Amino acid sequence: MAGLFAGKRGVEGVTAIGFLIIGLLFAGIVSLGIVERAWSDIKGETLEKNYIARDIALLLDAVYASPGDLEYIYSMKGYKYVVEIKNSKVTVNKPGGKEQNAAFYAYFDGGVKEEDKLNARFFPIPENPAPMLIVIVKKDGVVSIKENA
Amino acid sequence: MGMFRSKKGSSGTGEEEVYWIPKMIFTIAVASLTFFIIKAFIATTVNVGGLESALLTNLPQFSKDGFSKFDDKTGRVYPGVVDEPRFTTARMERIFKMKKPLIIGRFVLNQTAMDYMQNRQQVKVACAEPRVACTDSERYRIWQPIAQVRGKGEGGKTPYSEVRYATLANGKGVVVETVFIASN
């Protein structure tokens, strides 16, 4: 085996190739994450996730700011993302996506008590062509959120 | 062990083996730079600072917990009427309470032009002053010089200002000057 990769100096070729392979392996592992992220940016998924997170967060800002009761239905249209609303923050990510690739944006809930803070998670159904609808209801000053099946 | 001998014998690693570390680091650096160049030319986010500041300006004006006059018997909020005792930094900090906000603001009650001509009052805009309400006084104190000195869009802090005309509960006219500073 050593003879196959032998350089002019004998068995040195095996060592050099071995280290080259190890170096490429390390670089490949690091680059994979970078390429995955870059590809996600090129496809526009990063922009979509950021847009939806900001859209829902600003919507919640407006809901909390309104003085009366209201009900608002937010359509996710064709987007199949997981939406999580927790700890005064909206997080949007692909189903099964890594946490570091999620987009998030905070909203102001007027300093409500911890037990009244919104805590919900919405999962898309891949085979369902109908858009996911998120219903936001404000009644007697308390805001709740649910999915419209 | 013979595998790792250099041509000089058993002294250990040779030139090739030593240079693989900087080669690997260089490869990673090039890949990272390529990623950043791609990212610089692709829109990956939406700037909502202006829109958010407009929304948040409405929050204390329309909310029953804000600084507008509120009738607790009927539950009605009077958005164009400012209740001066409710116009405080403490109240704003309760509404806008958040650990690390990306946007903070300050509301200032100023005189109208007519009032100013008749009875000029010195304007004090520190968060602890009367007729001034900040959403996060400590953070505002740190962010405001950055937003002011560096100009719009620079330094990571962008100010969005707005002026609205309102009245006090006693019927006197007043100007509500608002500025929200968003972290880019």
Q: Which domain holds residue B121?
A: 49-183
**A27 close to B (CB below 8 A):** yes
> Is pLDDT larger for residue B135 or for residue B45?
B135
User: In a 3-state reduction of DSSP, which class is residue B122?
Assistant: coil
In-domain check, residue B111: yes
What would the mean pLDDT of A85-94 be, rounded to a whole number? 92
Split at pLDDT 50, 70, 90, the class of A8 is low
Instruction: From chain A, pick out residues whose CB is under 8 angstroms from the CB of B63.
Output: 64-67, 110
Specify whether B85 is located in the same domain as B127.
yes
Specify whether B21 is located in the same domain as B65.
no
> Is pLDDT larger for residue B182 or for residue B156?
B182
Cα of A86 to nearest chain B Cα, Å: 13
**B62 close to A (CB below 8 A):** yes
Specify whether B53 is located in the same domain as B40.
no
Specify whether B154 is located in the same domain as B115.
yes
For an interface test with A, the pick among B20, B30, B62, B100 (most A C-beta atoms closer than 10 Å) comes out as B20
Cα of A129 to nearest chain B Cα, Å: 26
Specify whether A55 is located in the same domain as A25.
no
Q: Which domain holds residue A4?
A: 1-43
Specify whether B111 is located in the same domain as B138.
yes
What would the mean pLDDT of A115-142 be, rounded to a whole number? 88
- What share of chain B in percent tops pLDDT 70? 86
Specify whether A82 is located in the same domain as A142.
yes
Cα of A83 to nearest chain B Cα, Å: 17
Among B98, B53, B100, which residue's Cα sits nearest to residue A110?
A: B98
Q: Which contacts (CB < 8 Å, 24+ apart) does range B42-48 have?
A: B42/A41, B42/A42, B42/A47, B43/A47, B44/A41, B44/A46, B44/A47, B44/A50, B45/A46, B45/A47, B45/A50, B46/A47, B46/A50, B46/A51, B46/A54, B47/B184, B48/A54, B48/A58
Split at pLDDT 50, 70, 90, the class of A138 is very high
Specify whether B33 is located in the same domain as B123.
no
Highest mean pLDDT out of A9-13, A56-60, A96-100: A56-60
* Count of domains for chain B: 2
What would the mean pLDDT of A14-20 be, rounded to a whole number? 74
pLDDT tens per residue, range B78-88: 998 999 999 99
In-domain check, residue B152: yes
Contacts of A40 (CB under 8 A, 6+ apart): A46, A101
User: In a 3-state reduction of DSSP, which class is residue A109?
Assistant: coil
Q: Which two tokens stand for residue A42?
A: 């090129």
Specify whether B115 is located in the same domain as B171.
yes
| pLDDT reading at B110 higher than 50 | yes
pLDDT, chain A, mean: 83
List the beta bridge partners of residue A142.
Answer: A139
Q: Which two tokens stand for residue A139?
A: 């009644």
Specify whether B105 is located in the same domain as B33.
no
